[in-house]
Amino acid sequence: MGTIREMLNRVWSFFHKQQRDAELNAEVQTHIEFAVEENMRRGMTPEEARRKALIRVGGVQQAKEQQRENRGLSWLDILLQDLRYALRTLRRDRSFTLIAVVILGLGIGANVVVFSVVNTVLLRPLPFHDPQQLVRILGAGTEGGESTATYSADAMQEFQQRNHTFQKVTGYYAFSSSDNYKLEGNGQPLPVTGLMVADNFFETLAIQPTLGRLFTPEECLKNSRPVTLLSYAFWKHQFDANPKIVGQTIRLSGSPVTVVGVLPETFDFGSVFSPGAKVDIYTPVIMDNIRHQGNTMALVGRLKPGVTLAQAQSEADILFPKLDADVTHPEWKAEYTTRFFSLKDYVSGKLRRSLLVLWGAVGLILLIVCVNLSNLLLARSAARGKEFALRSALGAGRARLIRQLLTESLVLSGAGALLGLAIAFAVTTWLAHQGSIALPLLGSVRVDGTALAWTVLIAVLTAGIFGLTPGLKMSSNNLQDALKDGGHGTSEGRKHERMRSILVISEVALACVLLVGAGLLLHSFLRVLDVDLGFQPSRAAAIQVDYDDHGNQELRSTLWQNILARVKAIPGVENAGITDNLPLSRNRSWGISAKGKDYRKGELQATFVYIVSPGYLNSIGMQLVKGRDFTWDDTPTGQKVVIINETVAKRLWPGEDPIGRIAQTGGRDMVVVGVIADVRESNVEDTGGWEMFLPATQQGPDGAQLVVRTKLPPEALAPSVMSTLRQINPNQPATEFKPLQLLVDHALSPRRFFVMLVSIFAVLGLLLAALGIYGVISYSVTQKTQEIGIRMALGATQAKVQLGVITKTLRLALLGIVIGTATSFGASHLIAALLFGTAPTDLATFAGMIAVLVAVALAAGYIPARRASRIDPTIALRGN
């Protein structure tokens, strides 16, 4: 009670200082007068009475000060005083303040951006209910792409029934391609991306629709009424967020489909399961339709409460080998294996190291910023030494002086943090809209409360680090010395200079570590760009083609021949071909073996399958090493043929000529007619796996991607290709004409993203180090103007003076570089896993980065060196 009232009174007094002071003055005045009167009554002279009265009162000022302390908020008074003073000093030193705030802003901004990304991808839980229970169920082998990572409908349903560790097991159809539906009814058909999901998919993820309802089990049965759920984004831009759409029918690829609901805005399938992909609509996967398609379902499960991943895994290790691929064919041994990942690990596990490296890099930047500011503050402290000596001579305690300096540092870092936040807001907003970067959850990157807290933390830490060193140093200065330290070249100046040299050396060393790391990553990136993909993405583009062959292979052959002939006739088109799957995008795998040979378990490998038209290999720029391409004469009734890649040829027929040999795939015999050079089918950085190509005239392709090779820029060709396709088939939806380079760029986007950021940070570090060098050398030249003047008067040439300054610069830089290189050498193995075709101790990179640092150091030292050599001895000697 009393304390609250006292607090309120103190606050009131704080805001009514003048009134309270006036009252106090009057009170003390009366007090003295009472005392004087009493003393006079005792017979003292007026002078004696006043003197005695004043003695009894004690220090009038102290009494008043004591009273103020007891009535108001003295700590706030001091803080405000310090703050006012700090602002005044900083305003007076405008250029210093500007440089300091910009440096801090860049350093803090970079840190907040990276923290926001790290927080979103690594730290924040996934945007699902109880996300720690969610498990991604993958095949143990990874060499077969999606097909070895997925399971058949029967296997999924058996596992759902037999397991005891999961509340729910669900899945989605892993082989949908983008733009796989056409939305009809409003003029030209619109390409739409749909994903088929198991009936309990959204229940397992615990996602509630924003509007309407989820699928019912009946809607997931064969011959049920077709239904769909809309993604929030699609609902918003396609149906103007009209809530009445629920219950209505839309036309999808020729059939009416009822919209049953709209999913919440927070659910973004692509950002979690398939970075960079965008899904517009969801439809139920009808299990009976895919039962005989083999492995098609990507599985996700929700563990029962209290069950660990390891417990579930050990149960699954027993269960999975027993699951049937197809219950109607129990003799087909699927030999399923499985590897569980928590969904979080699946989403962000691969990025952990890259992100931590990035975090480390911005940490280094912040350290360099701190060192740089310490340096700037030290330079100022040399100028402010007298001011502080005077203040302590007037009675300011050491704590009070440090407090004053820390307040200044905090004001600086606070302003820097504001600038940094502005930068971070801009950059994260930009990042969140970079759909082309294949990083998970990137769309939800933002500066949130945690990031704000982080900003405050690093701002305070930074202020502490860069403010305390000069603060302690300055406040410990010997008073007398400081007041005397007027001339140049006295001992105090020297001590400052040594401290600053140490700071610059450490700055150069930090920048060196950053540069070498960035150099290694950049070198790796260049190596990745140089990789022989096995196809030529430049000047080629692909577009998804719509056609209707009624399931008739003869008709398809005629349709495709017509399409290819018409497209090839377009001016500028060099070549064209059709495939169902493009490299570096969707993939699937089957098995292949040489006929008549027995294989041990594990000897064969899942093989990527591409069903293509004659001429496709040529149009995408794959290289036929041996044999021939398919022709239109490879008819459904003729001899079945296959083209394999060199890896398959080497493994199935080692040391033999595979042309003309019989291969078996899917239980059928096929003659090998050609061999192509390996293609990077799923990842630019891994060598190609087993690959085979089958003619679309003999097999059923899953969709059609028309690949066009052109002499013109692909964009220029888009309208004429589209109008030709429309002439052939008026139902051709407005699918995108995508340059193949986009596929490669998309695959490389995570690496490009990291390299870009680390390089930016390295350049920033380099600039800061250069600024540090420049500051120290420039300052020492100013300090030594007189000395240089004397030396020049005694006959030193301009060249000699310049050389002297540059030697000094180089000595600092080289010391920093030696320390930095040694550190990098020791630490580079930490990023070894992120390198590609580059040793962590790559000599060329080390040498290159050291050369860059030396060059920058020289440039930073040259400017003051030139100034030094221009010193006019007469002016310099007269000056002091």
Partner 1 sequence: MSESKLDLLQGTLDLMVLQTLATLGSQHGYGIARRIEQVSGDEVLLNQGTIYASLVRLQQRGWISAAWGTSDNNRKAKYYSITKGGRKQLAKDAAYWHRLASVMGRVLAMPMEEEL
Binding site for partner 1 (CB under 8 A): 2, 5-6, 9-10, 13, 23-24, 26-28, 30-31, 33-35, 37-38, 56-60, 62-64, 66-67, 69-71
Residue 514 CB, nearest approach to partner 1 (Å): 48
- Which residue number, 61 or 255, has a Cβ lying nearer to partner 1? 61
CB 83 within 8 A of CB 412: no
- Which residue number, 71 or 586, has a Cβ lying nearer to partner 1? 71
Query: Of 148, 129, 124, which is closest to residue 137 (Cα–Cα)?
Result: 148
- Which residue number, 37 or 288, has a Cβ lying nearer to partner 1? 37
Residue 399 CB, nearest approach to partner 1 (Å): 14
What is the pairing mode between strands 540-544 and 166-173?
A: unpaired
- Which residue number, 31 or 488, has a Cβ lying nearer to partner 1? 31
- Which residue number, 38 or 554, has a Cβ lying nearer to partner 1? 38
Q: For residue 53, which amino acid is it?
A: A
d(CA 233, CA 281): 10
Residue 373 CB, nearest approach to partner 1 (Å): 35
d(CA 539, CA 565): 19
Residue 66 CB, nearest approach to partner 1 (Å): 4
As beta bridge partners, residue 283 has: 196
Residue 13 CB, nearest approach to partner 1 (Å): 7
- Which residue number, 56 or 495, has a Cβ lying nearer to partner 1? 56
Query: Of 301, 295, 298, which is closest to residue 164 (Cα–Cα)?
Result: 301
Residue 830 CB, nearest approach to partner 1 (Å): 50
Polymer length of the chain? 880
Q: Residue 314 to residues 164, 310, 343: CA-CA distances in angstroms? A: 11, 6, 18
- Which residue number, 28 or 87, has a Cβ lying nearer to partner 1? 28
What is the pairing mode between strands 641-645 and 668-676?
A: parallel
- Which residue number, 69 or 481, has a Cβ lying nearer to partner 1? 69
192: part of which helix (H) or strand (E)? strand 190-192
Q: For residue 95, which amino acid is it?
A: S
Q: How many CB atoms lie within 10 A of CB 866?
A: 15
Tokens of 676: 């192509």
- Which residue number, 53 or 850, has a Cβ lying nearer to partner 1? 53
Cα-flanking dihedrals φ and ψ of residue 255, to 5°? -130, 150
Hey, which bits of 147-254 come out as E strands? Answer: 166-173, 181-184, 190-192, 194-197, 211-212, 227-230, 249-252
- Residue 575, classed as helix, strand or coil, is strand
d(CA 619, CA 617): 6
CB 382 within 8 A of CB 491: no
Q: Residue 308 to residues 69, 159, 165, 302, 333: CA-CA distances in angstroms? A: 60, 18, 9, 11, 29
- Which residue number, 11 or 241, has a Cβ lying nearer to partner 1? 11
d(CA 360, CA 354): 10
Residue 5 CB, nearest approach to partner 1 (Å): 5
- Residue 499, classed as helix, strand or coil, is helix
610: part of which helix (H) or strand (E)? strand 607-612
- Which residue number, 14 or 862, has a Cβ lying nearer to partner 1? 14
Tokens of 344: 């979080």
Residue 396 CB, nearest approach to partner 1 (Å): 19
Hey, which bits of 636-746 come out as E strands? Answer: 641-645, 662-665, 668-676, 690-695, 705-710, 738-739
CB 507 within 8 A of CB 368: yes
d(CA 831, CA 828): 6
Q: How far is CA 375 from the centre of its chain?
A: 31
Residue 67 CB, nearest approach to partner 1 (Å): 5
d(CA 478, CA 733): 83
d(CA 805, CA 863): 10
DSSP 349-402: GGGHHHHHHHHHHHHHHHHHHHHHHHHHHHHHHHHHHHHHHHHHHTT--HHHHH
Residue 40 CB, nearest approach to partner 1 (Å): 12
Residue 24 CB, nearest approach to partner 1 (Å): 7
- Which residue number, 35 or 617, has a Cβ lying nearer to partner 1? 35
- Which residue number, 26 or 847, has a Cβ lying nearer to partner 1? 26
Residue 77 CB, nearest approach to partner 1 (Å): 15
- Which residue number, 3 or 637, has a Cβ lying nearer to partner 1? 3
Residue 46 CB, nearest approach to partner 1 (Å): 16
Residue 22 CB, nearest approach to partner 1 (Å): 12
